[in-house]
Chains A and B, each alone.
Chain A
């Protein structure tokens, strides 16, 4: 009896090892859930066609940097697909992903991007057209806390960079950003929290958020209630991907993991991305969805801030620029 139980346990154990070799865990951020739900079956079909092997893709979603911490602490992800390069860089610094992860895939290892746009009340009653309108005294801006969300960090950097793009100095940019955050009545914790505050609770005149979020708000709540505003210039927010070397070495899934991420650059995957409102890298697919992704002049994080990791140190860590500029209640 006992032996049979042991055998059964053993069989169960080995079968889970066998299936572990052909399954892949993609650890990702919150809002990418819908995209990967559609991407995974497409990839499984593609992989079956090209190699004849069956694979199973598991996905895990939560806040981007919480996910990065989980992977660092031992969550056995084969690949990570994040929304800020800092999160992948953190894993690279700890030897979990390759040091040169940004060169392993095209376009700095980010198959898709997004940018920061404005969302205003229907008809744009406050006449908000560009960044400079956000510091008018009667405008209330809803934005994510840069300390708790990547969305907030990009909004801050976009505002800063908008001044530099017009030829302003860093001092002028700091001054502008300080004025902007004076108009912020509530710091949302994350992107969806900000959306709920602006759309459902009706607070604020303008919401700064990712383009992908703007498009999904329009789809969710209808175009009539709120309008998207494209400022004259905005930032490129990359969605980086990387193979988790630590896990694939152990599980022997390196080839599968690479194939999974490579396929993100295929026309089919780029098309799915476009449907989920993240900007595809493929010019062809982008052109096909020109009605959704209106052309907007963009600058990269690298242009003014070196990298997100450096921006984090200078601007967002405790005692950094953001803390200096922003002290409400005083």
Chain B
């Protein structure tokens, strides 16, 4: 497969005519792309950064590094990582079942996956809280066993799993659909066990998609506010997420402090996404080399 892609490039190279591109208008489209991206993403974000500039370095540091805020970073990123990891596995499972099997009600299940996308997050939060609270359907069964989910960090993880699930499923699904059955059949005919077929043939081809799904689920979870505040209990140092800290600072009319924390979140999220992207590129290159 890698050779097939490489071949036309090699043909094209000798015919390098004053570096003219096949499609016209690259300059224009690139210019427009950068302009649009700036208007929609970069300018709002730079406004955020600039409004935190009213703080001195020391004020900035006390705003973003007080123990309470640090605890909230740990919780936000930790719970998001856990939730995305859980979805990495179960999202793959759901995508697998949806792609490989036929069963009655499949379309309904397929549509259900998208529900967390469309649902207002506050609705998800209220629903999950009333389900998991001590007098809810599930909470009342778990609490006698000493398991308390609502108003604990565990509840936050549950909410984040719920809202970030579609990201993994929807990125893995098309790739899984495109995976060539012939390759698996060839592997089987050459004597590979089903586990070997999965780990050696299928998994390498879907890993980049899985990583993308993971990254998106993670990013979504980090930014989540609506569903979490209902289920978190919002105790400082224990179950207070960073977005709540930001809201708290705004309630004190401490806009600069709020943006300072927001900037920190922005930087951490961006670095993490960049890392995952790099990991994905590396993975894709490695998978390409081995096949």
Contacts and interface: CB of A to CB of B under 8 A. Distances in A.
Given A148-B251, A318-B66, 6 more contacts: A148-B244, A187-B233, A187-B234, A201-B134, A317-B254, A323-B68
B54 to A, nearest CB: 15
Given A203-B151, A318-B66, A147 B251 contact: yes
A198 to B, nearest CB: 11
B235 interface: yes
Contacts of B254: 317-318
A316 interface: yes
Given A201-B133, A202-B135, A203-B133, A90 B253 contact: yes
19 contacts: A63-B251, A145-B234, A145-B248, A148-B251, A186-B151, A187-B234, A189-B229, A189-B234, A193-B229, A193-B230, A203-B133, A203-B134, A316-B252, A317-B252, A318-B63, A323-B68, A329-B71, A329-B236, A329-B237
Nearest to B253: A90
A185 interface: yes
Given A201-B129, A203-B133, A203-B151, A185 B233 contact: yes
Interface string A313-330: 000111100010011111
Most buried by A among B62, B229, B257: B229
Interface string B200-231: 00000000000000000000000000000110
Nearest to B136: A201
Name which of A148, A326, A327 has the most chain B CB atoms within 10 A of its CB. Answer: A148
Interface in B240-259: 244, 247-254, 257
A186 B236 contact: no
B253 A69 contact: yes
Interface in B58-97: 62-63, 66, 68, 71
Interface of B: 62-63, 66, 68, 71, 129-130, 133-136, 150-151, 229-230, 233-238, 244, 247-254, 257
A270 interface: no
Given A145-B248, A317-B252, A318-B66, A201 B235 contact: no
Nearest to A312: B252
A185 B236 contact: no
Interface in A107-148: 145, 147-148
A326 B236 contact: yes
Contacts of B134: 201-203
A65 interface: yes
Contacts of B63: 318
Interface in A142-175: 145, 147-149
Nearest to A313: B252
B126 to A, nearest CB: 8
A318 B236 CA distance: 12
Interface of A: 63, 65-66, 69, 90, 145, 147-149, 185-189, 193, 200-203, 312, 316-319, 323, 326-330
B234 A186 contact: yes
B128 to A, nearest CB: 12
A148 B241 CA distance: 13
A314 to B, nearest CB: 12
Q: What 7 pairs between A and B have smallest CB-CB spacing?
A: A329-B237, A147-B248, A201-B133, A186-B233, A202-B135, A329-B238, A187-B234
The interface centre, meaning the residue of B238, B249, B253 with most chain A CB atoms within 10 A of its CB, is B253
A183 to B, nearest CB: 13
Contacts of A326: 236
A188 B229 CA distance: 8
B252 A147 contact: yes
Contacts of A189: 229, 234, 244
A193 B254 CA distance: 23
Given A200-B130, A201-B133, A201-B136, A69 B234 contact: no
B205 to A, nearest CB: 45
Contacts of B234: 145, 148, 186-189
B236 to A, nearest CB: 6
A200 to B, nearest CB: 7
Nearest to A69: B250
A6 to B, nearest CB: 28
A240 B4 CA distance: 74
Contacts of B136: 201
A66 to B, nearest CB: 8
Contacts of A312: 252
A319 B233 CA distance: 21
Nearest to A189: B229
A148 B247 contact: yes
Contacts of B230: 193
B133 A186 contact: no
A65 B233 contact: no
A326 B238 CA distance: 12
A97 B169 CA distance: 52
Contacts of B151: 185-186, 203
B60 to A, nearest CB: 13
Contacts of B238: 328-329
Given A186-B233, A327-B236, A328-B238, A201 B251 contact: no
Nearest to B235: A328
Contacts of A316: 252
Contacts of A149: 251
A186 B252 contact: no
A287 B54 CA distance: 52
B251 A328 contact: no
Contacts of B251: 63, 65, 147-149
